[in-house]
Structure 1
Amino acid sequence: MKLSTLAAAAVTTWVTATSALAEKEMVISSWLPPTHIMNEIVWPEFISRIETATDGRVTGKIEYQLASPPSQADLIEDGGADAAWIFHGYNPGRFVTTKLIEIPGLEGDSAAASAAHWRAHQEILGEANEHDGVVPVAMMVHAPGMLHLSQEVSSLDEVAGLKIRSGGGVMGDVLAGLDMAGVQVAAPKVYETVANGVADGTFFPGDTIAILRLTEVLPYTYRVPGGFYRGSFSIIMSEEFLDSVGEEDAAAIQAALGEDFSAFAGSAWDEGNMRGIEAQQSTGQVIDLTGDASAKFDALVPSIQDAVLEEVRAKGVDADAALEIIRSTMAEYSSQ
């Protein structure tokens, strides 16, 4: 069944089910506009699965602007909301093992990568306990990241010195490797930052540039095969909230999410990415860089991979085994 059909079914189920009184209602924190795929597709499916798993005893509602994007994990730990989605790159130092799924050179779509991210976390990377204080119930990866600029370039040799918004993670490693200057700004502030000339561009997947109207100020989108990076996210829940619903429902909720839901969320990111690319193509340009035009980046890829593996090993986990799980899982999903 196509994702769009699944999404429509999820929304219908959500609207119908939430009309009934549930014993527990989660407060779900979200930090991008209601039209973003997280709020349009992923969260409704999340709520629907939880309602089904608990026979309607637990439901949820989405609320916005409860905290800044980098503060979402703290929001959940402090009891300000019961569930949220976090971008790991916003918390450098706390999340290191999650960079492994972000490295360029991994083959497969976001559904495959998200499932692989979850499996590697469950089997190996979770041992680093980077999500201490919250409960990860799904892992996500957005579509391969692209470079969006306010000016046209013919190759990556011409981007040195440009001021580029960075969200952290491998994105920041790529930015530094291409000799660009990083501007640390959370996603909702990028339009203003670019419009005011503080930044010349940003790295993002397609869906985000469309939702944030960045096609208005960044008319040139540059792609490389496999993407410059992949962005790592997790969906987290409050330990206290899960305790409050009882052991049986808490176990049912976690069983209804995990790898299968991670793959679903990744598929939503893929769909959103296509929307964004189409939006950019309608008013600007989407340019594929290959050969000499992408040579500077191509030369970076092995060193980025090696550096991330070293960072993850330093967290006391088997980075090489985790990367093998990622590669094999992505191949498994890609062959389906």
Structure 2
Amino acid sequence: MKTKSMIFAAATSLIASVTTVQAEETMVISSWLPPSHIMNEIIWPEFIARIEESTEGRVTGTVEYQLAAPPSQADLVEDGGADAAWIFHGYNPGRFVTTKLIEIPGLEGDSAAASAAHWRAHEQILGGANEHEGLVPVAMMVHAPGMLHLSTEISSLDEVSGLKIRSGGGVMGDVLAGLDMAGVQVAAPKVYETVANGVADGTFFPGDTISILRLTEVLPYTYRVPGGFYRGSFSIVMSEEFLSSIGEEDAAAIQAALGEDFSAFAGEAWDEGNNRGVTAQMETGQVIDLDGEAIAKFEALVPQIRQSVLSQVSETGVDAEAALQIIEETMAEYSGN
């Protein structure tokens, strides 16, 4: 027979359990590439796990797809359609300028180092431009150095002039223009049909994306240059309203659990995805490393892009040179140099 104390203890435990369930907040996370993409397979699960741990289970998250087009993710969160999302800054030209610094070709280090550097520069200097107004950035990240994927074979970048290449904006667009290629503006999920229909001859992407979007079927030639043509800049943002709704303690705990450390984690995941994609491309197509005279045109372009980006960022009112120094020093620190 149960004693009164045992019954009381059981009832108390049940009430506590119900209270915990009732107190749990589930944030809606917007994502816009397939579930098999590393953003959804690796990064978002870790994001949710860190939030759950930091809030002792009071806050969790669920990933939902196709809530808005990729270029509309910032507006989606700001307008309350989702509580968190990931943004590719190049999709919003004019709004995000300082984020082009991390995209400059020639920065030395892997994507974990670059993502950590991206966060540190944002926190110390670039955030002063207030480009994420209405949103709360909780991580910054970059994908692996971008490659050029084509439907036809080339032996030198001198041969790409006039080709129609899909561009997502940012420094990717600057490289495209500098190599005399014609830009085709389309978001990542639409690239396959754009190429298959002959509207574009190729695209810039890291390896994971060409694999996930089945672009290896229509773009059999992948071209790499040392350090990549560019890096793609992203941020993970949360809703100001959602963070306010969960209270100061949990909001602070979430932000403390993310930031630079999580940015580095995300960058490492992007590199893992890139390696998978390159392997997939090697199975059905070709991955070709260009160097020497074959990339002379690009190498001559890099200093021009660097100076142009520094000028653009300076016009936002922040110290672009100091921010770039932070990026380079942080990447060297993470790389053990």
Same fold (TM over 0.5): yes
Equivalence for 2:244: 243
Summarize the alignment of residues 90-239 of structure 1 with structure 2, pairs less than 5 Å apart. Answer: 90-239=91-240
Equivalence for 1:35: 36
Give, in whole Å, the separation in 2 of the partners of 1:168 and 1:329: 25
Structure 1 residue identity aligned to 2:121: A
Give, in whole Å, the separation in 2 of the partners of 1:312 and 1:22: 43
Residue 84 of structure 1: CA displacement? 0.1
Q: Provide TM-score, normalisation by structure 1.
A: 0.94
Structure 1 residue identity aligned to 2:122: H
Structure 2 residue identity aligned to 1:37: I
Residue 310 of structure 1: CA displacement? 0.1
Post-superposition CA distance 1:115-143 (Å, at most 9, x none): 00000000000000000000000000000
Give, in whole Å, the separation in 2 of the partners of 1:21 and 1:98: 39
Equivalence for 1:296: 297
Equivalence for 1:64: 65
Give, in whole Å, the separation in 2 of the partners of 1:242 and 1:128: 22
Q: Is the contact made by 1:26 and 1:82 (CA closer than 8 Å) also made in structure 2?
A: yes
Equivalence for 2:314: 313
Give, in whole Å, the separation in 1 of the partners of 2:336 and 2:67: 40
Equivalence for 1:17: none
Q: CA RMSD in A?
A: 1.0
Give, in whole Å, the separation in 2 of the partners of 1:77 and 1:40: 25
Q: Is the contact made by 1:113 and 1:266 (CA closer than 8 Å) also made in structure 2?
A: yes
Give, in whole Å, the separation in 1 of the partners of 2:121 and 2:237: 17
Give, in whole Å, the separation in 2 of the partners of 1:152 and 1:102: 26
| Partner SS state of residue 197, structure 1 | coil
Post-superposition CA distance 1:136-180 (Å, at most 9, x none): 000000000000000000000000000000000000000000000
Equivalence for 2:7: none
Q: Is the contact made by 1:22 and 1:59 (CA closer than 8 Å) also made in structure 2?
A: no
Gaps of 5+ in 2: 1-20
Give, in whole Å, the separation in 2 of the partners of 1:219 and 1:79: 41
Give, in whole Å, the separation in 1 of the partners of 2:24 and 2:107: 43
Which of 1 and 2 has greater Rg?
A: 2
Structure 2 residue identity aligned to 1:95: F
Post-superposition CA distance 1:304-328 (Å, at most 9, x none): 0000000000000000000000000
Give, in whole Å, the separation in 2 of the partners of 1:78 and 1:326: 32
Structure 2 residue identity aligned to 1:117: H
| Partner SS state of residue 106, structure 2 | coil
Give, in whole Å, the separation in 2 of the partners of 1:312 and 1:113: 18
Give, in whole Å, the separation in 2 of the partners of 1:77 and 1:235: 13
Give, in whole Å, the separation in 2 of the partners of 1:200 and 1:72: 27
Aligned length: 318
Q: Is the contact made by 1:127 and 1:317 (CA closer than 8 Å) also made in structure 2?
A: yes
Give, in whole Å, the separation in 2 of the partners of 1:297 and 1:103: 12
Give, in whole Å, the separation in 1 of the partners of 2:23 and 2:270: 29
Give, in whole Å, the separation in 1 of the partners of 2:320 and 2:106: 16
Residue 23 of structure 1: CA displacement? 1.4
Residue 22 of structure 1: CA displacement? 5.7
Runs of 4+ aligned residues of structure 1 deviating over 4 Å after TM superposition are none
Q: Provide TM-score, normalisation by structure 2.
A: 0.93
Q: Is the contact made by 1:22 and 1:56 (CA closer than 8 Å) also made in structure 2?
A: no
Give, in whole Å, the separation in 2 of the partners of 1:149 and 1:222: 8
Give, in whole Å, the separation in 2 of the partners of 1:236 and 1:314: 24
